[in-house]
Chains A and B, each alone.
Chain A
Amino acid sequence: DTGVSQDPRHKITKRGQNVTFRCDPISEHNRLYWYRQTLGQGPEFLTYFQNEAQLEKSRLLSDRFSAERPKGSFSTLEIQRTEQGDSAMYLCASSPTIGPVLSYEQYFGPGTRLTVT
């Protein structure tokens, strides 16, 4: 088990461009979460998936943001028409739901740092 992985680790883009990030959760983890973190703040919840179903979306997830998890394994987060305010660390986490105790303990990936110039 190699943990949660995210790709790319860093992305620099110009304002107005579209970007897509990928997250590979820990194998057999059914739940997958996306967060955004800006400097000096804790992560802010964006959305989460149970298998391929997107169960909740934060109001932070504007129409320019879309997340998918088509086969219930990896997930992608796309930002369209990026703005400078989108510059942040985008974190992905996963948690297991199979087992005697549904702990929802979250395991985080290394994050993708987005810089919009």
Chain B
Amino acid sequence: KQEVTQIPAALSVPEGENLVLNCSFTDSAIYNLQWFRQDPGKGLTSLLLIQSSQREQTSGRLNASLDKSSGRSTLYIAASQPGDSATYLCAVSLLGTGGFKTIFGAGTRLFVKA
């Protein structure tokens, strides 16, 4: 059974700091991995999608890496800003004989202090 764990559960950093959020998954047979941002009481905003054949994706100040063999992904945020404060969710999607499903971690709550 695929399980997704995100560490840390919460993080508070001063503005301008570079930071890394971690995501681990138990079954390496994933189809893709997606990082999302969620603001309180809102839906999810897609940040980066990494296909199983890829090692990393970059968008602006964000960089996500994927190591399937070790079951790990990291989201690197450069030069953090107060507007980055949100919950960051990692999700892995599986596609196989069991069908298609997406499994989320519980998220990392990030607070960037001005």
Known A104-B31, A105-B46, A109-B43: A42·B100 in contact at CB below 8 Å: no
Inter-subunit contact B95/A104 (CB<8 Å)? yes
CB nearest neighbor in B for A48: B100
Inter-subunit contact B106/A103 (CB<8 Å)? no
Known A40-B106, A55-B99, A56-B100: A108·B36 in contact at CB below 8 Å: yes
Bound Cα distance A93, B91 (Å) = 13
Bound Cα distance A104, B105 (Å) = 18
Inter-subunit contact A58/B46 (CB<8 Å)? no
Bound Cα distance A81, B31 (Å) = 36
Name the distance in Å between A23's Cβ and chain B's nearest Cβ: 11
Mark out the residues of chain B between 98 and 114 whose CB falls within 8 Å of any chain A CB in the assembled complex.
99-107
Inter-subunit contact A42/B99 (CB<8 Å)? no
- B21 close to chain A: CB less than 8 A: no
Q: Tell me which of B43, B51, B89 contacts A111 (CB under 8 A).
A: B43
Mark out the residues of chain A between 75 and 106 whose CB falls within 8 Å of any chain B CB in the assembled complex.
91, 93, 101, 103-106
Inter-subunit contact B102/A33 (CB<8 Å)? yes
Mark out the residues of chain B between 1 and 37 whose CB falls within 8 Å of any chain A CB in the assembled complex.
4, 31-32, 34, 36
- A41 close to chain B: CB less than 8 A: yes
Name the distance in Å between A96's Cβ and chain B's nearest Cβ: 12
B106: chain A residues within 8 A (beta carbon): 40-42
- A65 close to chain B: CB less than 8 A: no
Mark out the residues of chain A between 41 and 74 whose CB falls within 8 Å of any chain B CB in the assembled complex.
41-45, 48, 55-56, 58
Bound Cα distance A103, B99 (Å) = 15
Name the distance in Å between B63's Cβ and chain A's nearest Cβ: 17
Name the distance in Å between A11's Cβ and chain B's nearest Cβ: 14
Inter-subunit contact A103/B51 (CB<8 Å)? yes
B46: chain A residues within 8 A (beta carbon): 105-108
**Chain B interfacial positions (CB closer than 8 Å to A):** 4, 31-32, 34, 36, 41-46, 49, 51, 89, 91, 93, 95, 99-107
**Chain A interfacial positions (CB closer than 8 Å to B):** 4, 6, 33, 40-45, 48, 55-56, 58, 91, 93, 101, 103-111, 113
Top 5 A-B residue pairs of the complex, sorted by shortest distance between their CB atoms: A42-B104, A108-B44, A56-B99, A110-B43, A108-B43
